[in-house]
Amino acid sequence: MTTDSTALLDRYAHAVLGVFGRPALVLDRGEGCWVWDVDGKRYLDLLGGIAVNALGHNHPAVVSAVSKQAGEALHVSNFFTTRAQIELAERLLRLAQAPEGSAVFFTNSGTESIEAAIKLARRTGRPGLVALEGSFHGRSTGALALTHKAAYRQPFAPLLPGVAFVPPGDIDALRAAVDESTGAVVLEPIQGEAGVRPLDTAYLEAAREITRAAGALLVVDEIQTGIGRTGRWFDHQRADIVPDAMTLAKGLGGGVPIGALVTFGPENSGRLSPGQHGTTFGGNPLAAATALAVLETIETDGLLATAEAVGEHFAGRVLALGHPLVDHVRGSGLLRAIALTAPVSAIVADSARDAGFIVNPVAPDAIRIAPPLNLTIAEIDLFVDALPGLLDAAKESA
């Protein structure tokens, strides 16, 4: 790291609230799946802003949507609407295969989408919520109440009461936890922050059956797994279920902040009436036009198939390395974790960065990738080719 980066990081430490710790790099610009730091060093971005840069950096469709919209109207308030907002809502409903009477509420982030879902659940008249151990749903206080990790929760107790946590994958435990006081069960089809841990399709279907029988809502948090990330538009679509609500953010805007709550069917869409919820920026023309360009490009460029093929290729090649530090590869499409046999992910991620690859040590024994959906096989092969050396070095220093 040169003086340029070091001086900037010192200024960061003096000016930016320290909740993220010291950043690893000061980034300057990106192009496709590559980013450059202020010292001119190039990295293959296999994290994509944590599943946000669905089309990579500087994609012409995103650049053109942002600049065109900036030249028209950036913001109009929710007293008014725009063509882009309407078209985006319609498109999301089509991709979600949502029944007639479904609707979209736009937000600016994942945590806000979860807050909207909590308010939706409250409108059932039932105060209870059920979430899964290992869950991550966001940092605002409602979403935090649904987030399992003690280190995130405890400093802010007491949180929203009435949240029960059950072990993921345990159908009997879920059945026992859901009763007539449960407003909603909230779950991620793949628990991203827990280390990319997929729920079985049978569990998703059981969760649907259990919530329906109890009169509770099923909310699927697709903030990390949605928008084509797993090779499907939304990961719950691998199961034969229609949820009551779905939360989105991250990849939807390709880097421009936007999130959404999708309510399925007229009963759910009718739960929040005029005045009961709102946001200043949610669904503004800049975010909506950009999100439309992202969805359009994913469709026309066939990026669901690319995500699936490149993700399968990656998993197959990593396993075929037969390295003693690799236990297995989890996840779908381009949301993957290499599960390690020893807690050395931070060492691997640091040396990967030195070698020009950005990956994420999501758990002590797991390395996550969530790259742009247009990553090529040639690009991912660069990382897989470097992996044995990185793992060998980590083994020695462990």
Q: Summarize as ranges the residues that interact with ligand PLP (CB under 6 A).
A: 109-111, 114, 136-138, 188, 192-193, 221, 223-224, 249
Under 8 Å between Cβ of 223 and 251: no
Distance CA 396, CA 287 (A): 47
Q: Give just the sign of the alpha carbon dihedral 279, 54, 338, 206.
A: positive
Give the DSSP H/E element, type plus range, for residue 200: none
Structure tokens at 161: 């009461």
350 is catalytic: no
The 42-45 sheet, strands edge to edge: 27-31, 34-37, 42-45, 357-358
Active-site hit among 136, 264, 314, 383:
136
Active-site hit among 45, 105, 106, 221:
221
Nearer to ligand PLP, 207 or 249 (CB): 249
CA 297 to chain centre: 19
Nearer to ligand PLP, 102 or 360 (CB): 360
395 is catalytic: no
Q: How far is the CB of 52 from ligand PLP (least distance, A)?
A: 9
Residue with the CB atom nearest ligand PLP in the bound state: 110
Q: How far is the CB of 198 from ligand PLP (least distance, A)?
A: 13
Structure tokens at 170: 């345990």
Nearer to ligand PLP, 1 or 160 (CB): 160
250 is catalytic: yes
Helix (H, G, I), strand (E, B) or coil at 272: coil
C-alpha Rg value of the chain to the nearest Å? 21
Q: How far is the CB of 114 from ligand PLP (least distance, A)?
A: 6
Q: How far is the CB of 221 from ligand PLP (least distance, A)?
A: 5
Cis, peptide link before residue 158, omega less than 30° from 0: yes
Q: How far is the CB of 270 from ligand PLP (least distance, A)?
A: 25
Active-site hit among 234, 235, 244, 250:
250
Nearer to ligand PLP, 44 or 116 (CB): 116
Nearer to ligand PLP, 32 or 195 (CB): 195
Give the largest Cα separation in the chain, rounded. 62
Give catalytic residues, as residue numbers: 136, 221, 250
